[in-house]
Structure 1
Amino acid sequence: MTGTGTGTRRAVVVGGGLAGVTAALQLAGAGVAVTLLESRPRLGGLAFSFQRGELTVDNGQHVYLRCCTAYRWFLERIGGTALAPVQDRLDVPVLDVGRARPRLGRLRRTALPVPLHLAASLAGYPHLSLAERASVGRAALALGRLDPADPALDGIDFATWLGRHGQSPRTIEALWDLVGVATLNATAPDTSMGLAAMVFKTGLLSDPGAADIGWARVPLGELHDTLARKALETAGVRVETAVRVRGLARDPEADGRGWRVETDGETLTADTVVLAVAQREAHALLPEGALADPDRLLDIGTAPILNIHVLYDRKVLRRPFFAALGSPVQWVFDRTEASGLAEGQYLALSQSAAQDEIDAPVAELRERYLPELERLLPPTRDARVRDFFVTRERTATFAPAPGVGRLRPGAATRAPGLYLAGAWTATGWPATMEGAVRSGFTAADAALRALGRPHEHPLKEAA
């Protein structure tokens, strides 16, 4: 058994995703002795890699934006910034194959100040009519006046707001959902206006470079497992993977001020516990009275993401990625170099809000998506498919539905010394890597304040 002692403060972090790793690093940095417990055999949560023969496969394509200051801190803290660079300037190729002939457009910015940085791109965006482009500008100005934290916005859906501001179904499809589905994992009718306002106001209207896109040029496991584990161990964190937590209770030997964490192999005691697990797992572990209404956690829905992986015997795509319109295909990424593929090309299709297809058989998905890739990328018609497989994350994110804001708990619980972390907590952000890291900051910050440990918050705007 590990005791709390009188001098050294001890913490147990349950969960080794980005939220848990962040909380552990912050606690350890303030001199707390930290044990991190992860039920999987690796760190990284739902942003991980695995081996498929000689190929290293990410379970799904993950990107972040320049405005994701917390995740950028995380990359710097683990020594991974150079391995996941950001575009010099936002540039998204958008290929529409739903019209008479395929047409390529681009969403890109200039160095002009907000909102002029996107004006030229919008003016020349071929997938909208002149009137639709003008309506986008008016809606963007209205969106810029909103406060994403306004509780009233959480009660309405994004599609309703867009309709009130003159956005046609085509405009929603070719612009708002093009971005929103990828970042929120839901279409406009199923998205809280508060979360939509956060995404679009922060990403497109806060700073000219806010929406510049970054992504890992190496397998995610190299960042979120290998480098994260090294950073944790260097900070003095004891990392235990493949360990399942069975129970959490007050420590009777610590006058009710400490905690006991039961695993299959040992009992740990600590002054502070951070539950950095999914909402349903947190609900199962929470002691009675820790939240006023713990069943609210069960009301936070989940949304799936489907990833389709296709290996060709030759190069069929010259760009690092593109988005598609007029096709069930959403976003296509070139993962050849990151996967270690020596010959041919490896494309990953990221399909968000995939409720209708998440359980579809591989053969059915192959029959549906290979012809779509031929429509989008003519060179695939002469290429041989060397491999086709899918990865499914049925509970990839929390569902950003209207009303979800009132269900998301803060970091502190009613039980002293017990804190919650995870992208599903009240970060103000949707379920992104950014939100996960921010939740880790918030949980560690609350714990350290309660322990009387001086510390600095890494993000100036959140200090």
Structure 2
Amino acid sequence: MTGPYTHRRTAVRDAASRRRAVVIGGGLAGVTAALRLADAGVATTLLESRARLGGLAFSFRRDSPAGPLSIDNGQHVHLRCCTAYTWFLDRIGGSGLAPLQRRLDVPVLDAAPARPRLGRLRRTALPVPLHLAAGLAGYRHLSLAERAAAGRAALALRELDPADPALDGVDFATWLHRHGQSGRAVEALWDLVGTATLNARARHASMGLAAMVFKTGLLSAPGAADIGISRVPLGHLHDTLAHAALEEAGVRTVTRARARTIGPRAGGGWRVIAGHGQAVAEEYEADAVVLAVPQREAHALLPAGALSDPGRLLDIGTAPILNLHVIYDRRVLRRPFFAALGSPVQWVFDRTVPSGLASGQYLALSQSAAHDEIDEPAAALRARYLPELARLLPAARGAAVRDFFVTRERTATFDPRPGVGRLRPGARTGAPGVHLAGAWTDTGWPATMESAVRSGATAAREALTVMGRPHDNDPVPGITGRAVA
């Protein structure tokens, strides 16, 4: 390599007798891949360009007028059906820190009437699909006819194969209208759930991905959609605990190390050059490389011939998520979270305890598919959303706002619009030993923490196959194949 870098070769312990892997990217996909490779006896190095792990599900410290706080960049939840993420939490020692609801119960406030009305989406312990029947029958935000039509649409969804390529070319709204769903039903039921999980409204979402979300989350098992929320900062899970698990597994974790190039190594395998600042680069040798970075970064790093049409990666769009953070001088919400209708507010979560706030209450508003608002000034967002919260929450009308701030993830997820399925690549590439991971790869799931973990496990499995490691019965649920050291 030429340029302003000086090289120093990195020695990997037991390099002469052990297979070696380099994982590029320290988000959930990369951490999962590194853990699986190390657990299989592969000498593994994880390179992360940031000073922390966790990717886009992280925390930061804020010196607020209310005191020093630990803030999640955005609200992330998982469901009981997210079996791979559940495995991940258990693997890093955090399974008790993100508990699941005993049974699905979503409070939904409709702000359209003069006095907001509360409805609830709930389930029972009855078998599928009867587990949702009582909750849907009592969901007051839909008429009796709309509830009956929603039940029929759910039964039709149950018969679909989310992997059917034909579904990827249809938008979810078109399918819903064909199955008798009114505009109100789309707003008060399908988009209520779908926008938060897909990061797109029904009219902009691939039917294939929507079918996967609703069939798996609502129709696969009675408790599949029970919601899990971390009761600690995400950084404690995805950085602190993940880093400790990697160290215990023997992974060498290098932060502030940005991969520059991946090239073939004389005699076979790969060499990765990673930059550390402006003057120093380090060289890593590997039998396998896992690229667990966003699609544009992967496109820039992939060696020639790795994909037949690498330009497709650049065709995978991105979608933003806006997060608004409000700290009141008193308690204004008695529930852990709620969703809203008839308001720009989407989902609101109480994050008082995880943040470390000593008094008052901290609410986090998660606004998905926020294309129209992602670049708005904080002052304009404050002027719009604080009155909406006061309208939804009577206790907020007399409360003082101690702090209001905004976090923006302009490329929070891949854009799940129709046709995206044919663009998402699998883990294995045409460059033997180079593999792709990330929530944007072809996991069958939308861009969720579950998708990220699944992609990392799949990439590790493929890497182990190329390195000649036999495997079966992978411990990550939903992933076939487990490496045997």
Q: Same fold (TM over 0.5)?
A: yes
Residues 87, 477 of structure 2: 8 Å contact kept? no
Match of 1:457 in 2: 474
Match of 1:31 in 2: 41
The answer on 1:40 being equivalent to 2:50 is: yes
Q: How does 1:61-460 map to 2 (within 5 A)?
A: 61-252=75-266, 254=267, 257-264=268-275, 265-455=281-471, 456-459=473-476
Look up the equivalent residue of 1:2 and give its one-letter code: T
Residues 30, 454 of structure 1: 8 Å contact kept? no
The answer on 1:12 being equivalent to 2:22 is: yes
Look up the equivalent residue of 1:221 and give its one-letter code: G
Distance 2:270 2:478 in 1: 32
Please give the secondary structure, in 1, of the residue aligned with 2:354.
Answer: helix
Look up the equivalent residue of 1:248 and give its one-letter code: I
Give 5+ residue unaligned stretches, structure 1: none
Please give the secondary structure, in 2, of the residue aligned with 1:354.
Answer: coil
Task: State the shift of 1:291 in Å.
Answer: 0.3
Is the alpha carbon distance of 1:38 and 1:460 closer, same or farther for their aligned partners in structure 2, counting shifts above 3 Å?
A: closer
Look up the equivalent residue of 1:409 and give its one-letter code: P
Please give the secondary structure, in 2, of the residue aligned with 1:248.
Answer: strand
Please give the secondary structure, in 2, of the residue aligned with 1:266.
Answer: strand
Instruction: Show CA shifts across 1:329-371 (max 9, x none).
Output: 0000000000000000000000000000000000000000000
Task: State the shift of 1:263 in Å.
Answer: 1.3
Distance 1:412 1:7 in 2: 25
Residues 83, 478 of structure 2: 8 Å contact kept? no
Distance 1:448 1:260 in 2: 18
Task: State the shift of 1:449 in Å.
Answer: 1.1
Match of 1:56 in 2: 70
Instruction: Show CA shifts across 1:222-277 (max 9, x none).
Output: 0000000000000000001111111111112x2xx211101123111110100000
Distance 2:22 2:341 in 1: 46
Normalising by structure 2, we get a TM-score of 0.94
Look up the equivalent residue of 2:49 and give its one-letter code: S
Task: State the shift of 1:317 in Å.
Answer: 0.3
Look up the equivalent residue of 2:344 and give its one-letter code: P
Instruction: Show CA shifts across 1:78-136 (max 9, x none).
Output: 00011000000000000001124311000011100111111111111110011100000
Distance 1:424 1:99 in 2: 39
Number of equivalenced pairs = 460
Please give the secondary structure, in 1, of the residue aligned with 2:99.
Answer: coil
Distance 2:479 2:133 in 1: 31
Distance 1:396 1:460 in 2: 25
Task: State the shift of 1:462 in Å.
Answer: 3.2
Task: State the shift of 1:2 in Å.
Answer: 3.2
Residues 3, 270 of structure 1: 8 Å contact kept? no
Give 5+ residue unaligned stretches, structure 2: 1-8, 276-280, 481-485
Distance 1:316 1:16 in 2: 37
Look up the equivalent residue of 1:212 and give its one-letter code: D
Residues 93, 322 of structure 1: 8 Å contact kept? yes
Look up the equivalent residue of 2:23 and give its one-letter code: V
Instruction: Show CA shifts across 1:164-202 (max 9, x none).
Output: 000000000000000000000000011000000000000
Match of 1:2 in 2: 10
Please give the secondary structure, in 1, of the residue aligned with 2:348.
Answer: strand
Distance 2:367 2:177 in 1: 25
Instruction: Show CA shifts across 1:297-317 (max 9, x none).
Output: 000000000000000000000
**CA RMSD of the aligned region, Å?**
0.9
Task: State the shift of 1:326 in Å.
Answer: 0.5
Please give the secondary structure, in 1, of the residue aligned with 2:300.
Answer: helix
Please give the secondary structure, in 2, of the residue aligned with 1:448.
Answer: helix
Distance 2:161 2:242 in 1: 35
Distance 1:194 1:359 in 2: 30
Distance 1:323 1:363 in 2: 23
Distance 1:72 1:51 in 2: 26
Task: State the shift of 1:451 in Å.
Answer: 1.1
Residues 108, 118 of structure 1: 8 Å contact kept? yes
Distance 2:16 2:50 in 1: 32
Distance 1:229 1:79 in 2: 11
Residue identity (%): 76
Distance 1:162 1:68 in 2: 25
Distance 2:89 2:476 in 1: 14
Distance 1:321 1:144 in 2: 28
